[in-house]
Amino acid sequence: MRIIAVFIFLISAASILSSCSGYSILRPSENLSTLGQSLLTEGITLAPIEQDYLGQLSSALIYELGKRSLPVRPNNACSAYTLKIEILNPVDENIGFTYAPNKANETTPKHFIVSNEGRLTVSAKVQLIENHSGRILLDQCVSRESVSFDFEPDLGTVNAHQFSLGQLEMHNEAIKSAWRVLYAHLAETIVQQVYYDLF
């Protein structure tokens, strides 16, 4: 009798756990609003983002939409909705400073300050547009996102060996990595806001 009870328990546990693998939407489709159900079936087109020259924000948005099982379609003819993002007020500011280091052959110390830490800050305007009517379903600004990053001041004091080990990055290289991280944070915030406001 115990063997039968254990067998039934194992079968029921296996059937419950088998449904836990893979991705699923956060709410079952029958519990979604009509707009939420329509978004899941009809899909979303992501409008080109004007200041996203490398496509990093677009890529991050597609990834975040996919995590929530919201299908992204390639053009307006294939989807019922368009997600339009406008980048607002991008700011690159210096927030960390240090004294300029001396070169190897200099004996007199320098007494000027150079920047060695920056912060990128950006916000976005988000619109969800119904394609066949042109009606704006969602129109709001996302709170500002920011990311801080360190860099080596370009003073000619770094030797080639340090660069070859990947220990230091000048501002123009460090800022590329910082934009990628910032866009990932911004995309996550945008998609969370759209998902929870509409569903």
Is 107 among the domain residues?
yes
At 65, which CATH number?
3.30.160.150
Residue 170 lies in a domain: yes
Q: Is residue 89 part of a domain?
A: yes
pLDDT tens, per residue, the chain with 199 residues: 677 765 566 566 555 544 444 444 444 556 678 888 888 888 899 999 999 989 999 999 999 999 988 889 887 778 899 999 999 999 999 999 888 777 777 777 677 888 889 999 999 999 999 999 999 999 988 888 999 998 888 765 555 545 555 555 788 888 998 999 999 999 999 999 888 877 7
Please state the domain count of the chain: 1
Which residues, 6+ apart, have CB-to-CB distance to 27 below 8 Å?
Answer: 36, 199
Q: What whole-number distance in Å separates Cα of residue 104 and Cα of residue 158?
A: 10
Let me know if residue 9 belongs to a domain: no
Residue 7 in any domain: the answer is no
* Whether pTM exceeds 0.95: no
| Contact predicate 147/181, CB 8 Å | yes
- Residue 63 within any structural domain of the chain: yes
The answer to whether residue 6 is domain-embedded is no
For 28-56, letters b (16+ CB in 10 Å) and e give eeeebeebbeebbebbbbbeebeebeeeb
| 121: containing domain | 32-198
Q: Is 23 domain-assigned?
A: no
